[in-house]
Amino acid sequence: MNIEEAKKSGAMALFGEKYDDEVRVVSINNYSKELCGGTHVKNVSQIGPFFVTLETGVASGVRRIEAITGREATDYMLDAKKFKKYVASVLNRQENDNLIEIIEEVRDNNLTLQKEIKKIKAGMFSGDQAKTIGKFEQVCNITIGFHNFGETDKDTMAGWIDTQKENKGAMVAFALGTIDNKITYMATASPTATKQHNIHIGNISKELLSHFGGRGGGKPNFAQGSIALDTQPEKFYIKARTIIEKEGKN
């Protein structure tokens, strides 16, 4: 059939391929009518093994599938068998065991353990214990606290920051932690630091983060943001200390 006649009859060109002037039209009763972009066989037995490898949405109510056949499908099946054998060996199980159920159980146990570890870490970095964790030094009658948590979570960082904020003296604290492959930043200033030394940790943070490809800010007593992943914690701390020293002399 001529391609223009085919289109006028309602056939859809779903694949977007460049068709010849003469095309084949595949119709399935009243369900589907489209231009054929595939290879034709006389009998389905010529296709051999057949695996659907991808399903995507083409338009509203229209799905497109991609599949492999023949030798490629056989290789796909053999690779799947090898993978199943490998997974079974990693799990220390047999291939005929219900591996999906076992994997789901391992996943659930892992999530439970992660939650328990998170609670333990949050307890370690809050309260009286948090007062001894990190680097502390005096600059212009202000205590500067700093801790690099490495891989962590926001709750753990916030627990440590909140403890430093409750310090009765003039305290400014900075924390870095890697969360979801990004370096997260939190900082705080105690009431004495904000009132007696005019420390505004939000403004200080804006200046500090700008030196390390980051951004953020906040209030006089709390700030947060993020910095470049390649930032060296020690250089970050030195810069923070320099800014606090400048603020303390004003």
Task: Render pLDDT for 111-133 as a digit per residue (tens, 0 to 9).
Answer: 999 888 877 777 766 666 656 67
The whole-number average pLDDT for the span 33-41 is 74
Would you place residue 15 in the very low, low, confident or very high pLDDT band (cuts 50, 70, 90)? Answer: low
The whole-number average pLDDT for the span 183-205 is 95
Higher pLDDT, 223 or 7: 223
Euclidean distance between CA atoms 190 and 244, whole angstroms: 14
Q: Same domain, yes or no, for 102 and 61? A: no
Q: Same domain, yes or no, for 50 and 161? A: no
Boundary-marking domain end, from 105, 123, 141: 123
Q: Same domain, yes or no, for 119 and 230? A: no
Number of independent structural domains in the chain: 3
Q: Same domain, yes or no, for 107 and 80? A: yes
Q: What pairs with residue 65 in β-bridges?
A: 55
Q: Same domain, yes or no, for 133 and 214? A: yes
Question: Closest Cα to residue 187, out of 212, 168, 167, 162?
Answer: 162
Helix axes 99-124, 154-165, angle to 10 degrees: 10
The whole-number average pLDDT for the span 46-69 is 87
Euclidean distance between CA atoms 245 and 250, whole angstroms: 9
Q: Which domain holds residue 130?
A: 126-249
Would you place residue 58 in the very low, low, confident or very high pLDDT band (cuts 50, 70, 90)? Answer: confident
Rounded to the nearest integer, the mean pLDDT of the chain is 87
User: 31-40, 160-169, 175-184 — which is least confidently predicted?
Assistant: 31-40
Opening angle at CA 241, ends 240 and 247, nearest 5: 90
Q: Same domain, yes or no, for 7 and 78? A: no
- What is the structure's pLDDT at 40? 72
- What is the structure's pLDDT at 177? 94
Would you place residue 17 in the very low, low, confident or very high pLDDT band (cuts 50, 70, 90)? Answer: low
- Give this prediction's pTM: 0.57
